[in-house]
A and B are shown apart, each in its own frame.
Chain A
Amino acid sequence: MGTNRPDFAEFYRRSKDECLFTVLLSVGDRDTAQELLAEAFARAWASWRTVSRHPAPAAWVVRTALNAHVSRWRRHRREVPLADPGAIADRPTAGEAFDSPVDPRIMAALLRLPERQRQVVALRLFLDLDTARTAAALGIAPGTVQAHLGRAIAALRADLMPERQKETPS
């Protein structure tokens, strides 16, 4: 049992921050994301013999954390859709931006993506999974992964680029 500890510790050190950001993207709150992820990593340790042979252990951890979030959500949260789901937020105020661990404008743009596109962005860009592993983790075809990623990048470009271009003197 003790022999797997060094492997796990190295895996944890290497992947914890990327996993945290990926979960944060879905959960929206850093403390909640960290709590969920700590539990998911603990489960990974408890099943390390199996999880270490998973093609993408980090994706396993993220998925476990998000599944736990769904369970908690069902028991402790009441969620209602926004009246205008396409318009999650305008640019936050300076005070809100100051409190945020990430650039709130980019975070808002990511949160505006449809769920599947956000999952693909999270696995491809934040966990650095290749197309095949992303497809396997999400249970979709590799071509679908590419299509979702392309649409997500186009949406992010439309959201973020105009203002960025204005900031850059030609």
Chain B
Amino acid sequence: MNDDDLITLVREQRGSVEMTTPVDQIIGRGRVLRARRRVPGLAAGALAVAAAAALAVTALLPGSHPAGRPLPAQLTAWTVTRQADGTITVTVRQLRDPAGLQRTLRADGVPASVTFFGHEPRACQRYPKVSAILMAEVFGGHGPPLVIHPKALPHGAGVQLSPGHYPHGAPIALAAELVQASRGCTGT
């Protein structure tokens, strides 16, 4: 296989996904955006305030937590450690064995969904009341490792872990989000 064959092989992948949103739906949304532009400043101002609030909150919070007596569940690809104060520390070295990580987190009392490849479960819906403050309460600092505070999870919320990237210059990263807890998504 030469370079051209390799490029062809990689290019073939783009045919494996299809954007299914109808063009009329796109145009309908475009009309809303165009109309909103006639009221300048409203949407942009709201976004700027939200971003500034997020930065302010995360800057004020501590980036680490007091270590208790860890009860490590040690595996090669990732480590989950429960601290004495109830916080859960997740260190991921490789995106392997998502089912095992999901089981471990659930056993430690975190309603969790973990997906490293493919689709996230259809049952998973974003937690609607997410805010920068809530994110900081549940996940604390910016790690690594990822720290989860199960006691800060609101009733009906769970954690979803998936692959992510930093936007620029980016090491491969693990992304954590809040989702609505449900049997099909987080197990409870």
- Residues of chain A having any CB pair with chain B under 8 Å: 5, 8-9, 12-13, 16-22, 24, 26, 28-31, 34, 37-39, 41-46, 48, 66, 69-71, 73-85, 87-90, 92, 96-104, 106-108, 110-112, 114-116, 121, 125-126, 153, 156-157, 160-161, 164-165, 168
Contact = CB atoms under 8 A, between A and B. Distances in A.
B139 A78 contact: yes
- By secondary structure, the A interface counts as helix
B65 interface: no
Contacts of A157: 3, 6
A89 B94 contact: yes
Given A29-B119, A80-B145, A89-B116, 16 more contacts: A18-B14, A28-B162, A29-B162, A42-B32, A46-B33, A71-B51, A73-B175, A77-B177, A79-B174, A81-B143, A82-B171, A82-B173, A87-B93, A100-B117, A104-B118, A153-B7
Given A77-B164, A79-B175, A29 B17 contact: no
B21 A34 contact: yes
Interface string B18-31: 11110101110111
B166 A101 contact: no
Nearest to B18: A17
A99 B132 CA distance: 32
B29 A38 contact: yes
Given A81-B171, A88-B163, A17 B95 contact: no
B183 to A, nearest CB: 19
Given A17-B15, A77-B176, A99-B117, A28 B30 contact: no
Contact of B167 (A13, A48, A73, A92): A73
Specify which of A20, A46, A106, A164 lies most central, judged by the most chain B CB atoms within 10 Å of its CB.
Answer: A46
Contact of A82 (B15, B30, B47, B174): B174
A92 B14 contact: no
A114 B169 CA distance: 7
A42 B25 CA distance: 9
A107 B117 contact: yes
Interface string B47-87: 10011001000000000000000000000000000000000
The 9 closest A-B pairs by CB, nearest first: A99-B118, A45-B30, A80-B143, A42-B29, A16-B19, A85-B171, A21-B14, A100-B118, A46-B34
Nearest to A165: B1
